Amino acid sequence: MVGRQGIKEHSGELDVTLKEWTGYRDSVQDELKEISNRTPPSLRNILRYHMGWENEKGCARQGKPGKFIRSILHLLSCRAVGGDTAQVLPSAAALELVHNLSLIHDDIQDRSHERHGRPTVWKLWGKSQAINIGDFMFALASLALLKLKDNGVPSEEMIYSFHLLTEACKELCEGQCLDIEFENRVDITEEDYLNMIRKKTAALIAASTSMGAYLGKGGEKAQYFHQFGEALGMAYQIRDDILGIWGIRESTGKSIEGDLRQRKKTLPVVYALRESKNKAKLKRLFSQRHIGVGDIPIVVEILDQSGARDHAQNLIQKYCRRALEQLEASGVERNHQAALKQMANSLAERNY
Amino acid sequence: MVGRQGIKEHSGELDVTLKEWTGYRDSVQDELKEISNRTPPSLRNILRYHMGWENEKGCARQGKPGKFIRSILHLLSCRAVGGDTAQVLPSAAALELVHNLSLIHDDIQDRSHERHGRPTVWKLWGKSQAINIGDFMFALASLALLKLKDNGVPSEEMIYSFHLLTEACKELCEGQCLDIEFENRVDITEEDYLNMIRKKTAALIAASTSMGAYLGKGGEKAQYFHQFGEALGMAYQIRDDILGIWGIRESTGKSIEGDLRQRKKTLPVVYALRESKNKAKLKRLFSQRHIGVGDIPIVVEILDQSGARDHAQNLIQKYCRRALEQLEASGVERNHQAALKQMANSLAERNY
């Protein structure tokens, strides 16, 4: 595996980078906590609950924090081109806010009851407040980005970052629209699927890496970082699809089978609907309004037998390889690539 | 009435300003249509349906367009200080996008089945897509604002406009949060209520007028325009409250009684819960989970007898007067105030 080799090559640096990740995550969390301090109590409570810092009563809790993938990639990309990571903490926070508002709205849309092993926001506060906190976080993300100027980022660069983030938000919604539409269809091609996840997932991850390299004054390198982030985002989403079917509830914190019951056209399903010897039966199951609990083991068996999992895993490898090629092509010094490579590999192989 | 006097004074100019309004509205619609052209088909269809340009099948329709209050106030404020209205069409479009996404999300939150006499977006496309199109319009609003630069607005001014709009969005969500929370309470004071509508409604209208004056290079005048817009927004929302109880369905295009059934703490309700001789009964009715259709006439009778309508109308006059005072205080030439005065008065007295 490309991934493992990458990790072994730089194993000396790994312990350092792992510590750095934690440091970056803590810095972004601090930035987000400061933003949440300036919000009214009701909204603050929901925001902090969702971020995992408080329980629903507003009491502090020690829980496993989220992955903070987008913000860490942002900071690592900034650093890789020689930029000042402290300066771009506001944009890192903005990326997390956009991502998390999309999760809160997504949970309503997908009727998901659990996230990170806890009840989702809409389950506790109702759909109305869950819609509202998402909108609120959109505004907070813009305000966070505007703070870049206070950190010394020139106006023109801040404006361009706004462009990048906003275009990514637009694509995210376009992807989400397709994802919802696809629920009612059984004729989704792999091309349709890849286009959908490129928008739904890869666009924001690409914005994270390209904005990081751009704000870090990486100039032309930002293009390569965009490609790196996009390919990594594709691998990330396909891995998410696999975990949504074959993952372990305790690791992902989400109820397994949600994607299937919701008739999501994840890659394994798209593949099996085309390649499985039982595709007619699978099509019938996916043509119901909802897939019942009793039908789930039948669907999983068909997916298992179709080779869909291997196919998905191969595509992850392909996108992961492409991501690392783009990183190489960026011309960034090798020792600056290490942490990003490690992150890419661990995301593609993750079980959480 | 202050309003009518204002209108009579300038009656010679009125026909001109009415034509101008229509012209402004058409220009903003054109700007919005151009934005919608650059969106993917599914989202475009929903957006155009909501704006009233198409039916749900995507066929053009000739319907009464929305009021475009925020964008027209924006353009009129820009012009009043001698600014170039063509230059600020993108920000006018951004204001309408924010307002309309708040309507789409609001209709889900309030379970409203009708808007402008037609089924709401969520009734036709489902809640998931309705949440999503709202998020999408948030991104479109930011992209619209970024277009100011192409129209020759200096970067620093565009950035400051972003501040103003984003702060208004934040307040809008804060107000919306309170509005939802208040549904379950019967102890709302008039102060609570006024604070809630200042955020929910007046903040965006204040941003419309202050951004208009600011981008029109009105300098210090923008502060007065902010106060003007805020006071006008207060009057506007209280008028909305009255129409929500005593309005005529054909004029408003909304199902009357929605506010009452949803137990909204509108001004007449807040007043009657404190002042009515039947306040104990009213409190009991509002303490139910939902107010049944059969109870609505009882509620309306209690409101009628309490003098709540006169009280609300008096407050409208008060805010309308305050708005016009701020306009005077801005030092803008009298003949430039005419259209804004007329708009303020007509909004405070509207039946639609």
Chain B contact present for A103, CB below 8 A = no
The span from the CA of A186 to the CA of A269, in Å, is 9
For residue B88, the Cα-to-chain-centroid distance in whole angstroms is: 19
Q: Given pLDDT bands bounded at 50, 70 and 90, which one contains residue A19? A: confident
Taking the domains of chain B in order of start, what are their residue ranges? 2-349
Count Cβ neighbours within 10 Å for each residue of A16-52 and write b for 16 or more, e otherwise: ebeebbeebbebbbebbeebbeebeebbbbbbbbbbb
* Cβ-based neighbours of A194, under 8 Å, separated by 6 or more: A234
The span from the CA of A333 to the CA of A321, in Å, is 18
- Three-state secondary structure call for residue B38: coil
ipTM: 0.93
* Stretch B290-313: mean pLDDT: 94
Is the pLDDT confidence value at B152 over 90?
A: yes
Chain A contact present for B185, CB below 8 A = no
User: Mutation test of the interface with chain B: which of A120, A142, A172, A180, choosing the one with the most B Cβ atoms within 10 A?
Assistant: A142
User: Mutation test of the interface with chain A: which of B97, B131, B143, choosing the one with the most A Cβ atoms within 10 A?
Assistant: B131
Q: Given pLDDT bands bounded at 50, 70 and 90, which one contains residue A226? A: very high
The span from the CA of A86 to the CA of A75, in Å, is 9
Please report, in angstroms and rounded to a whole number, the separation of the first and last CA atoms in chain B. Answer: 20
Chain B contact present for A177, CB below 8 A = yes
Q: Given pLDDT bands bounded at 50, 70 and 90, which one contains residue B254? A: low
The residue of chain A with its CA nearest to that of B164 is A143
B128 φ, ψ to 5°?
-60, -50
Closest CA to A43 of A171, A129, A167, A163: A129
- Architecture per CATH, B2-349: Orthogonal Bundle (1.10)
DSSP A54: B
* Cβ-based neighbours of A231, under 8 Å, separated by 6 or more: A202, A319, A320, A322, A323, A326
- Using the beta-carbon criterion (under 8 Å), do A159 and B149 form an inter-chain contact? yes
Q: Given pLDDT bands bounded at 50, 70 and 90, which one contains residue A254? A: low
Mean pLDDT of chain B: 91
Q: How many CB pairs under 8 A join A and B?
A: 137
* Cβ-based neighbours of B304, under 8 Å, separated by 6 or more: none
Q: Given pLDDT bands bounded at 50, 70 and 90, which one contains residue B4? A: very low
Q: Given pLDDT bands bounded at 50, 70 and 90, which one contains residue B22? A: confident
Is the pLDDT confidence value at A6 over 90?
A: no
Query: A68: phi > 0 → left, psi -120 to 50 → alpha, else beta; which?
Result: left
Q: Using a CB-CB distance cutoff of 8 angstroms, which residues of chain A are in contact with residue B156? A: 155
Query: B28: phi > 0 → left, psi -120 to 50 → alpha, else beta; which?
Result: alpha
Closest CA to B205 of B176, B175, B232: B232
Mean pLDDT of chain A: 91
Q: Which residues pair with A60 in a beta bridge?
A: A54
Closest CA to A265 of A312, A205, A323: A312
Q: Using a CB-CB distance cutoff of 8 angstroms, which residues of chain B are in contact with residue A102? A: 135
DSSP string, A11-51: HHHHHHHHHHHHHHHHHHHHHHHHHHHTS-HHHHHHHHHHH
